[in-house]
Every structure is written in C-alpha cells, then in structure tokens.
Amino acid sequence: MKYGIIGSGPAGFTSAILAAEKGNTVVLFEKDEIGGTCLNKGCIPTKVIMHTAELYRKAKNASEIGLVADNLKIDFNALIKHKENVITLLRNSMTKFLESKNINIVKAYAEITSDNTITANNQEYKCDKIIVATGSIPKCLNGYSFDGEFILNSDDIFKLSKIPENVLIIGAGAEGLEWARIFNDMDCNVTVIEEKNCALPVADNDISKYIENLLKQRGIDLKTSTTVKKLENRQVTLSTGEVLNPDFVLVAIGRLPLKPEKVNGKVIYLGDTNAQLMLANFAIYQARALLSDIKFDSVFVPNVVYGEPEIAWIGANEQDLPVGSYEKSVFPIKALGKAHCENEKNGFIKVLSYQGNIIGAHIVSKEASALIHQFAVAMQNNIKTSELKKICFAHPTYSEGVYESIVKL
C-alpha cells in the first residue's frame, strides 16, 4: 500500500515511520523544514531559550545557596546560535531516520488534486491512503493582523535580534505563560492580559490561583478579565482604559487548523489539522492509534506548561465535578526533602479520586512534566490508589510526593 503524507510535524513524522515499518511505500511531503512547527518554531526552540533564561535567573539569585555569580549576562546572539544548533541537530537526525526507512521525502508544496492523487512540483503521486498533517497557524486578534514588528505571533518571536525591555502578552494560556516567564527571567518588564477571570483557564482552579500568585511574586503584571480595546501607533489601549507602550505585543490566544483549501477524495486528518487537541503529544498519539497495534484512550492525555515550576495535569478538574462525588488530597511540595535540597519549594500535588480510582491529578512542581506520567500510567491501567501505595519510592525524590498525595485516599 502507498501512503501520501502531507506535513512532517509530530503527526506526519510518526505516521510516516509507522507506515513504513509495516512495509508500506511512503511519500512524505513538506514545504518547509522537516519537523514542522514543533521542532522549528514551537516546542523545542522555546524550551532551549527557556532553559538559558531559567539558569540566568537562578544564578542571579543563588547567593543563599552559596553560589555568587558576578557580571552575569545573557549573550543573546550566542543563545540564538545555540537554539539553531539544537534544531539543526534534531532535524538532521529526523531526516536520517526517515531516509533509513526508505521514505521518499518531497520538499515542496503538496496539493490533493483528485481522488488518491497528490501533486507536488508538477508531478503526480498516486496514493492508496492520504494523511493530512499540515498543522496550525497562530490566531490573531479580531480586526488585526500580524505585522512582524509590533503585533507578533509565536513564529515572529524567534526573529528577535535582542532582548526586549517591555513586553505585552495577550493570553494567559500555556504559550502566553511560558513566554511571560521566559521574558521575566531575562529581566524584561512583562504584562499579561487574559479575557477570562483567571490565568490558565483550562486548568484546575487551584492551579490557576497558585500560578497567579507566583506570577505576581516574580513581578509579572497579570491582568485578568481584560481585553484589548485598541492597537494603534504602537500603543495598546485596554478594556480598562489603561494605555500601554510595550516594545511589541505577543498574541498568544490560540491557533487555527491549517487545512488544504481544496480536498478531492477521502483523506485522514491528524494533529493540529484534526483540531481535537492541539498538543504535539496528542498528534503523536493520533498517528500511533491509526497505524500501530497499540490501543490508546484519548481521555488520558497529559497537559504540561513549562517553566519554573512546571505545571501538569491529567483527567478531571475539581470545578467540573459535582460536589460530594470525589475525594481530594493536596500535598505541598515544600514538605519534600528533595525540594529543600534544590531550593525548589513552590508547588503542590493534588489528586482527585472516586472509589479508589484516580480521576484527576494536578501538579505544580519541579519535574511536574515527569511526575504526571506516574498518574497517567495508573489512570489508564485502572490501578487503584491502594496498589500505588505498595510502591517503594526512592528518597529523596520529587516522586515521593506522588506517594504522599495518595496515602490518605
């Protein structure tokens, strides 16, 4: 069978590999760079920059743990070069892996021109199955468009030539909070506005409240229940009447699926193009669910917001559950010896359960992106809290918090 796959991001790349490993002929079309947004303009470069920013902030404030750093600064040009080196390394590795599976990579814009036909570079490719994984594009404010100079999106951020002084971020979701913390760590003045009444509105309310306090402690000006009234002459007028003069505005209010304009014939949409859940891990999950023999349950998809501390959750939010329908346990990270050893005492682990089964887990902590998967394994395999209590957790670790958060459930 011949597969035609358009887009080489997480969904397209995974689909191509799995289809080829099953003995199918695969043609992978990519008009930009292998790896899609995630590798080239999203997850990976953001985390590279975030890592340096966090190290800078920690080093500046490390005197209490016996580390004094004088004349510390961020070499922005060196940081950008490092970011590009990481992307290039991973992109080359992905390309070599695709080639090792005898996947035909066509670097060109691809169009589905008829049933089971993809056209690229004026050449037709007949395919038995067509997968569209063309990703998504940043969403802008109604009535405005990105100009690459003052109104920026997540792609434009990577074109900055220097660290800004004053930044306005519109949207307090995952993307907005990650960049808010990055710029704050780099000594920028950061304002974040959010039209909903809390930060990270898709998360559990306890996470939202905790993160709001942390942002304020870091000096980030968070304005909830606030929108943009006007953007004009490099000035921003808020719905409250306040006027701001940032270096630029980063719009982080979500993304729109990028689908082909014309599609003839039956195709399969994966990843952001599918528009169910715009997460790289969910895109990979979709590809595996389609092309592997492993069965998945899409209910158990972990969410992670990076930064210090990390934020992660899976399953139900407490505010969405009927009163009296669950048990709850909250364990503070500052009660862990490991947290004190590393001076990372912010956060908590909150677990919601019903009849011994975990139905929701919410974490603010260092290593939250790893800890959440311990709950994911338990939830997806119906492992009761009574069984989890039998596990011996190493000491000192943050994972001890997983045990402590369920011991009384």
Is the sign of the CA dihedral 79, 81, 82, 83 positive or negative? positive
* Cis, peptide link before residue 309, omega less than 30° from 0: yes
Instruction: Answer yes or no: same fold for 151-253 and 303-406.
Output: no
Count CA atoms within 13 Å of residue 303 on its CB side.
22
DSSP string, 325-366: S-EEEEEEGGGSHHHHHTT----EEEEEEETTEEEEEEEEET
2-138+256-291 homologous superfamily? FAD/NAD(P)-binding domain (3.50.50.60)
Q: What is the pLDDT of residue 262?
A: 67
Here the tokens at position 222 are 């968070």
Task: Judge if the upstream peptide bond of residue 302 is cis by omega within 30 degrees of 0.
Answer: no
Q: State how far the alpha carbon of 340 is from the alpha carbons of 49, 236, 321, 329, 355, in Å.
A: 26, 42, 34, 22, 34
* DSSP SS3 for 222: strand
Q: Which residues does the chain have with pLDDT short of 50?
A: none
β-strands 327-332, 348-354 pairing: antiparallel
The domain segmentation of the chain, as residue ranges, is 2-138+256-291, 151-253, 303-406
pTM tops 0.85, yes or no: yes
Q: Which CATH number fits domain 151-253: 3.40.50.150, 3.40.1190.20, 3.50.50.60, 2.30.110.10?
A: 3.50.50.60
Instruction: Cite the beta strand spans of 195-253 per DSSP E.
Output: 221-224, 228-232, 235-238, 243-244, 248-251
Asked if the 303-406 domain carries CATH number 3.40.30.10, the reply is no
For 278-312, how does the pLDDT look when each residue is reduced to its tens digit (9 = 90+)? 999 999 999 999 999 888 888 899 999 999 999 99
